[in-house]
Amino acid sequence: MKQKTVFLCGDCGYESPKWYGKCPSCGAWNTMSEFKEKPVSAARGTNTFQRGESRPTLLKDIDTGDESRFHSGIGELDRVLGGGAVHGSFVLVGGEPGIGKSTLLLQMCQEMCKNARVLYVSGEESLKQIKIRAARLHISSPELYILAETDMEQIINETELLEPDILIVDSIQTVYKRDLTAAPGGTTQIKECAMSLMQYAKNRNVTIFIVGHVNKEGTLAGPKILEHMVDCVLYFEGESAGPFRCLRAAKNRYGSTNEIGVFEMSDHGLLEVQNPSAAMLAGHPQGASGNCIACVMEGSRPLLAEVQALAAKTQFGVPRRTAAGVDYNRMVLLLAILEKRCGLFLSSSDVYVNVVGGMRLDEPAVDLPMVLAIASSFRDKPLPEGVMSFGEVGLTGELRAVSNPGQRINEAYRLGFHTCIMPMQDVDEDLLQKMNIVRAKTVGDAIRAVL
Ligand SMILES: Nc1ncnc2c1ncn2[C@@H]1O[C@H](COP(=O)(O)OP(=O)(O)O)[C@@H](O)[C@H]1O
Ligand SMILES: [Mg+2]
């Protein structure tokens, strides 16, 4: 059969029979390169589910066995997975290089080895390097198998011999299939290798974890092509310089995608952060202008974090705005609202917003604390001690209700806050006893209440 030539975009994985200077899908220039694909029947031959299984079956007759899960011994990881890794599931762990993916997966082996046979395949480190890392992490499982290999065929062969219950491939960018001409790490290789692993996971009921590095733009190299085929996508994020790491599920076929896991990187590996709010608030400056404590919901848990802002006079030209940990466009929108609805003339000020601890707060409830922090910096007046807030801001400057006010207030109370600035929404009577609750209709009212 004739080999088919295709052109693939190195950034987004867009596939086309024709070459384009600019990728029609993601708009990147000069990213399309040529690949020779194997004839379809041969290439897909290994990719079909076991023949004979693919017959229509009545829903009621499908046997699922038990939806049993492997527990990693790391509570925060199990939480994000939805209570452990489901047998036969295929999990992708993404994150920037150096964030701690290998560390997390190796630490997970320690506990998993006790009830299952685990094979850890590394295409990045030698056996010796892994041993040194394991010693540093105090991992001493006698039952853990390690393989340093990048050839996919070899990995599958060894896996078939060993028959592990859990297979970890670190990382998908380093493994390759010999019969493809494309280079390892390229879209075709990643796609085909992941496909082979997925077929293996589904046919043999093996739980597979693969590591995928994320590039600077935040997309997995050969990006969306992996997300749709796996059962679960976990992203490990945080600032490499800071100690905190946050694990989020971007997709989960076996659990909620709202839960997050919080970790701290130490010399001996990743430690679970049991009380993230307290950790995020450590070192919170007293009596300084330009900061406000926010309470956001991360899945089922309320989390307190410090939002800092600095508004300084622009030296020349266009004012600068930067946002770390909050959405940039949201910040710009809030600045416009402050200017238009509250008369804070920020158009000649540079504004910098940062969330302490490297956490990313994407919930709308962070709007009000962000506005208060900016207003506090602009007026150079600190918020009173013990004040925290949450609430969404609308375009007319009105404050809008957010979910779970009770849980947020309780968390703030637990950490010693006594005043809460929030939108006009109902809260339980008993909360009014322990907290001084200030309900504001508009951004202007909220600012007047504390500044
Ligand atoms: N010898 C060491 N001592 C202390 N911390 C280390 C050591 N080696 C690595 N680390 C920490 O582990 C991180 C690397 O984690 P790793 O799991 O290899 O990342 P990834 O697999 O995501 O690229 C480093 O950024 C560093 O913080
Ligand atoms: Mg690694």
Ligand nearest to the CA of 174: 2
Q: Which of 274, 303, 321 is the last residue of a domain?
A: 274
Residue nearest to atom 5 of ligand 1 (CA): 267
Q: Which of 274, 308, 338 is the last residue of a domain?
A: 274
264 known member of a binding site? no
CA of 107 to the centre of ligand 1 (A): 12
- At residue 340, what is the residue type? K
Considering the domain architecture, whether residues 289 and 172 belong to the same structural domain is answered as no
Task: Evaluate: CB of 103 within 6 angstroms of ligand 1.
Answer: yes
| Contact (Cβ atoms closer than 8 angstroms) between residue 171 and residue 212 | yes
Task: Evaluate: CB of 242 within 6 angstroms of ligand 1.
Answer: no
The reply to whether 58 falls in a domain is no
At 135, which helix (H) or strand (E)? helix 127-136
Residue 220: partners with Cβ closer than 8 Å, 6 or more residues away? 92, 94, 212, 213, 214, 226, 227
> Around ion ligand 2, which residues have CB less than 5 A away?
102
Considering the domain architecture, whether residues 299 and 244 belong to the same structural domain is answered as no
Instruction: Name the residue range of residue 306's domain.
Output: 279-450
The reply to whether 175 falls in a domain is yes
φ and ψ at 220, to 5 degrees? -70, 135
Considering the domain architecture, whether residues 268 and 287 belong to the same structural domain is answered as no
Q: What is the number of domains present in the chain?
A: 3
The reply to whether 223 falls in a domain is yes
102 known member of a binding site? yes
The reply to whether 50 falls in a domain is no
The reply to whether 165 falls in a domain is yes
Q: pLDDT of 331-360, one tens digit each?
A: 999 999 999 999 999 999 999 999 988 788
- Packing angle of the helix pair 443-450, 367-379 (nearest 10 deg): 50
Task: Evaluate: CB of 97 within 6 angstroms of ligand 1.
Answer: yes
Q: What is the DSSP string of 312-366?
A: EE--SSSPPEEEESS-HHHHHHHHHHHHHHH---GGGEEEEEEETTS----SGGG
The reply to whether 57 falls in a domain is no
φ and ψ at 322, to 5 degrees? -135, 150
Residue nearest to atom 12 of ligand 1 (CA): 100
Task: Evaluate: CB of 101 within 6 angstroms of ligand 1.
Answer: yes
Considering the domain architecture, whether residues 221 and 252 belong to the same structural domain is answered as yes
**How would you classify residue 226: left for phi > 0, otherwise alpha for psi between -120 and 50, otherwise beta?**
alpha
Considering the domain architecture, whether residues 32 and 91 belong to the same structural domain is answered as no
Q: Which of 274, 302, 323 is the last residue of a domain?
A: 274
Considering the domain architecture, whether residues 39 and 82 belong to the same structural domain is answered as no
Considering the domain architecture, whether residues 162 and 176 belong to the same structural domain is answered as yes
Q: Cis ω on the peptide bond leading into residue 171 (within 30° of 0)?
A: yes
CA of 82 to the centre of ligand 1 (A): 26
For residue 350, the domain's CATH number is 3.30.230.10
95 known member of a binding site? yes
Residue nearest to atom 3 of ligand 1 (CA): 267
CA of 168 to the centre of ligand 1 (A): 18
pLDDT by 10s per residue, the chain, length 451: 556 777 877 777 778 888 888 888 888 888 787 776 654 444 444 444 455 557 888 888 877 766 689 999 899 999 999 999 999 899 999 988 889 999 999 999 998 998 899 999 999 999 999 999 999 999 988 889 999 999 999 999 999 999 999 999 998 989 999 988 878 878 888 889 999 998 888 888 899 999 998 876 655 555 567 888 899 999 988 877 778 888 989 899 998 888 889 999 998 999 999 888 888 888 888 889 999 999 999 888 899 999 999 999 998 889 999 999 999 999 999 999 999 999 999 999 999 999 988 788 989 999 999 999 999 999 999 999 999 999 999 999 999 999 999 999 999 999 999 999 999 999 998 889 989 999 999 999 999 999 8
d(CA 199, CA 256): 24
126 known member of a binding site? no
Considering the domain architecture, whether residues 232 and 102 belong to the same structural domain is answered as yes
Residue nearest to atom 2 of ligand 1 (CA): 267
Considering the domain architecture, whether residues 162 and 221 belong to the same structural domain is answered as yes
The reply to whether 383 falls in a domain is yes
Residue 8, helix vs strand vs coil:
strand
CA of 100 to the centre of ligand 2 (A): 7
Considering the domain architecture, whether residues 128 and 190 belong to the same structural domain is answered as yes
Considering the domain architecture, whether residues 127 and 227 belong to the same structural domain is answered as yes
- Judging by DSSP bridges, how do beta strands 85-86 and 166-170 pair with one another? unpaired
Closest listed residue to residue 371, CA positions, set 314, 320, 443, 310: 443
Q: What is the DSSP string of 141-179?
A: -TTEEEEE--BHHHHHHHHHHH--SEEEEE-TTT-B-TT
Considering the domain architecture, whether residues 219 and 342 belong to the same structural domain is answered as no
The reply to whether 63 falls in a domain is no
For residue 261, the domain's CATH number is 3.40.50.300
